[in-house]
Structure 1
Amino acid sequence: MNNPWKLRKMSRVLVVDDEEAYRTLMAGHLERKGFEVEKASDGKQALARLQENSFEVLVTDLMMPKVSGLDLLRQAKKLDPWLEVIVITASGQVENAVSAMREDGAFDYLLKPLETIGELSLAVGRAAQHRNLLFDRDRLNDQLTAEASRLQALMTHSGDAIISVDKTGTISVANPSAAHLFGRSDLIGSNAHEILPMALVDLLDGWQTIGDSEPTVAELNWPDEALQLVSLASIAEGGDGGRGWVMICRDITHLKNLDELKMRMLTEAAGKIRLPLAQAVSRLAELGDTSEISDEDRSATIYQLAKLLGNIQSWMDELISLVRVEAGIGYQTGEVALADVANKDLQTRFDELNKERDIHLLLEIEDDLPEIRVEKSVFERILQGLINRAAARSSRGGTVRVSGKRHQDLVWIEVTDDGWQKRKPGTVEENEFEQEEYLQELEGFGLEMVKAIVNRMGGQVWVRGQGAVGSTIAISLPIAEGERELA
């Protein structure tokens, strides 16, 4: 079948008549009126033309040899159901023409001979316009059906609970998530005020009376310390002024938990800064007492003070980095190779910092490891922080291992330490105990920050073991899109 959706500015018309003079007269008139016309001398020739080309309108004589106009009409409609047909008939055959319209789908009929040739072009113009209107209707119906299917799929697979209620208060639409949220499979057909939880009913009553049914969004406490974001909007029904409404419930408990996590992180950061600040003030007071402090003690105090202030600066930098990432300020991702971050420069810095404790860094990065898409400076801080944590947790002479490997569409980065052995009080200096305590309290904030940032980068974080026998922090990050396509 020819493609019915291929519309043209100039309508194509096939004129069929076994009388050459009449056929030429009709074709010539239609061409002068702007139609694109082809001619056929009988029904058999016309069917061949219809199979070869697409036409908007068929004009055919009703009485022809071989294949009659009525048979041509029926077969032409099978080839192209959207083809509009005008039959030309003698005055004594009007009943046949009317029957062709009623039973076989002819658009119109004209009596032969035509009173004026102009009525032919008018009839053909109306037929072409009617065909285009049918196209528009069917196209819009197809679009509507496709959109309805798409909407149905979205509602079915949406994690949000969606219900629609008509003007009588009866639930007419409810998706599977709504059935799960309310714990009922009989939502459709039920009265909303009778079946919904009381908290929602109270919200609806307030929205309809005080809120005047204007579109609104409200947070609603839910059982088990959950939190729902409820969206309400009214919908018109019919022309009698009646209105129903649509409600969407989204579980935002994780967002509430995230806000609480951020607040806890800020509180912990403030708590950790408070003690070093107090210690720094104490060291400054010692420096101010010039009468009872030796040069050696002064140097030691200045060193400790610088270390304390360095720790405070490091914490503040971490906190600022987290805030920047969460707010998306200055956060620009790019394609980064792990080998460009875990490189000889990192090895050199590590060796200098851990020379006294004889702790070694072992880099085990797979060759040809795909690039990852991250914010390079933030990722460098994360990796450096995890390596520093692993070094601080390791006993003298231990090894920190950094590995990188690919698994499916992820790059896995693991930072492993050997842990520390149990020490007896009095066998190490006091500042070593303080360091261990500092590390233990730093773990919570540091790892929470790492998780928040890595999640923002589209990855995940796993922790295996945090005791004295060693631990591993594993980070999985998606590989860059271009690398994924090459895989």
Structure 2
Amino acid sequence: MHFGQQPLIPVGNQAGEQVAQNLAFPRLAFEVDGLDVHAAPLRSGLYALPLRLCPTVPALRRKPWHGTCAVFMLRRPHLAPLREKPLPMAKFPHMTPGRLLIAEDDESLRALLVRYFTSLGHGVEACVDGAAAVGRLATGQYDVVITDVLMPGTNGLDVMRAAKAADRLVEVVFLTGVPDLTTAIKALREGDAFDYILKPFPNVEILRATIERALERRALRKENERLGRELERSRSTDPMTGALNRRTFFDLGERELARATRHHEALSIIMFDLDQFANLNDSYGSAAGDNVLLQFAQICRELLRTEDVLARYWADKFVCLLPVTDIRSAETVAERVCARVASTPLPVGDGTVTLHASAGVASREDSDRSLDTLLRRAERALRRVKDHGGNSVQTEPKDY
């Protein structure tokens, strides 16, 4: 049998059985007459060739090859012209390197797993038992945890619980050599484990494929969470300014008003309006107006506290909800915002403009039963400011 011009000597079942134990060694790409043979060295002159990586040698598919691997020997005289080089990750296009934690009390198997996954480009840490793995999980971050089911003391289920407590999106793969799979199945059903693998492995390609799928599922779940957060943010915020939208403001505001009423605490609202905003839109265009709104929202965020709530109420109107803040303190906040706006040149087109803002302030009264009552008072105060030329702050202490 030949591959290119190089003779291959088939080796029988005894060496084939060695494949499962030795393929964890780093694979090498042998260049033979311009062609690559991807194989794993077993011992001097003996190599294991995964048939999946060499479909051009159909003769190697027949017995006595073990599993998906063919074992062959290159004759000594032909070793000299070969150039050995590490197999690049591009040969595994779907492989995404990850950070793996291995908990296995069998020293030889643990070493084999470390060598194999390291050769595939993963970052690997190994622990001699479950207790050591639980300790690592308390301080480190991992994408996949590979753990034996039965270990003295802390078992695989304990390792899985610790892993999920540290990161609920971490994937857990169990190794088990016990014919009774009750524990592994329980972990899959109740503990969100990803999969289990029976020992001894028929071949290490099962390990590679399982961990690859685990990494893909973790990446997918993380992406789904990110998209969910973005969707929730888009439902609750104004896309132009990043401030809360009107609907979300009313939801939060009603809860905050109920809390303040229950604890007899102060609660204030400021309603802002940008003076001459319509004229700016007419003169410079809507893009310039959008930029001014964004800059105003940024000024408000810089001057408000973390617990304060900023929302875009309507067009160029913004509202701020200030928990545990009386009307005089709220008036001071409004004055600071208006002063910052007046002193900040805002970029418009090729130049800058200076705008002014008006504000109406209202504070919670014991008779208030809804956020809308508080907003109406703040809006009345704002209207009075606008009627007198704007660029000022007015308070509206109570309804009438």
Please confirm whether the aligned pair reaches a TM-score higher than 0.5, indicating the same fold: no
* Rg comparison, structure with higher value: 1
TM-score under structure 2 normalisation? 0.39
TM-score (normalizing by structure 1): 0.32
Pick the structure with more helix per residue.
Answer: 1
